[in-house]
Structure 1
Amino acid sequence: MAINLQKGQRISLEKSNGTKLQHVCVGINWGAIEKKGLFGLGKTKEAVDLDGSCALFNEQKQLLEVVYFGNLRSKDSAVIHSGDDLTGDMNGNDGLDNEVITLDFSRLNSNINYVAFVLNSFRGHDFGTIPFASIRIYEGTPSRVNEVFATYDIASGPGFAGHVSMVMGVFYKKNGEWKFNAIGEPTRDRKLEQTVNTVAQQYL
Structure 2
Amino acid sequence: MAINLEKGQRISLEKSNGSKLQNICVGINWGAIEKKGLFGFGSSKEAVDLDASCAIYDDQKQLIEVVYFGNLKSKNGAVKHSGDDLTGDMGGDDGLDNEVISVDLGGLGANVTYVAFVLNSFRGQDFGSIPFASIRVYEGTPKRVTEEFAKYNISGGGFAGHVSMVLGVFYKRNGEWKFNAIGEPTKDRKLQETVQTVTQKYL
**TM-score when scaled to structure 2?**
0.95
Structure 1 residue 146 displacement after superposition: 2.1
- Match for residue 52 of structure 2? 52
- Match for residue 188 of structure 1? 187
Contact 1:5 1:149 (C-alpha < 8 Å) held by counterparts: no
- Match for residue 149 of structure 1? 149
Per-residue CA deviations over 1:68-103 (Å, capped at 9, x if unaligned) read 000000001111000000000111111111001101
Taking the aligned partners of 1:15 and 1:186, their CA distance within structure 2 comes to 29
Taking the aligned partners of 2:132 and 2:71, their CA distance within structure 1 comes to 26
- Match for residue 102 of structure 1? 102
List runs of 5+ in structure 2 lacking aligned partners. none
One-letter amino acid of the counterpart of residue 8, structure 1: G
Structure 1 residue 9 displacement after superposition: 1.4
- Match for residue 177 of structure 2? 178
Residue 159 of structure 1 aligns to a residue whose secondary structure is helix
Structure 1 residue 3 displacement after superposition: 2.8
Contact 1:6 1:150 (C-alpha < 8 Å) held by counterparts: no
- Match for residue 8 of structure 1? 8
Q: What is the root-mean-square deviation in Å for CA atoms of aligned residues? A: 1.4
Structure 1 residue 153 displacement after superposition: 0.9
Contact 2:11 2:179 (C-alpha < 8 Å) held by counterparts: yes
Taking the aligned partners of 1:2 and 1:174, their CA distance within structure 2 comes to 23
Q: Which moved more, 1:56-65 or 1:104-113?
A: 104-113
Structure 1 residue 37 displacement after superposition: 2.0
Taking the aligned partners of 1:12 and 1:29, their CA distance within structure 2 comes to 24
- Match for residue 201 of structure 2? 202
Q: Which moved more, 1:144-153 or 1:76-85?
A: 144-153
Structure 1 residue 19 displacement after superposition: 1.5
- Match for residue 39 of structure 1? 39
Taking the aligned partners of 2:177 and 2:36, their CA distance within structure 1 comes to 48
- Match for residue 92 of structure 2? 92
Per-residue CA deviations over 1:150-199 (Å, capped at 9, x if unaligned) read 2121113x210011011111000111111110111111111100110111
C-alpha spacing 1:2/1:128, structure 2 compared with 1 (3 Å): closer
Residue 194 of structure 1 aligns to a residue whose secondary structure is helix
Taking the aligned partners of 1:184 and 1:59, their CA distance within structure 2 comes to 23
Moved over 3 A (4+): none
Taking the aligned partners of 2:162 and 2:151, their CA distance within structure 1 comes to 18
Contact 1:166 1:186 (C-alpha < 8 Å) held by counterparts: yes
- Match for residue 21 of structure 1? 21
- Match for residue 71 of structure 1? 71
Residue 200 of structure 2 aligns to a residue whose secondary structure is helix
Taking the aligned partners of 1:171 and 1:15, their CA distance within structure 2 comes to 16
Structure 1 residue 2 displacement after superposition: 7.1
One-letter amino acid of the counterpart of residue 174, structure 2: N
Taking the aligned partners of 1:198 and 1:146, their CA distance within structure 2 comes to 32
Taking the aligned partners of 1:166 and 1:71, their CA distance within structure 2 comes to 20
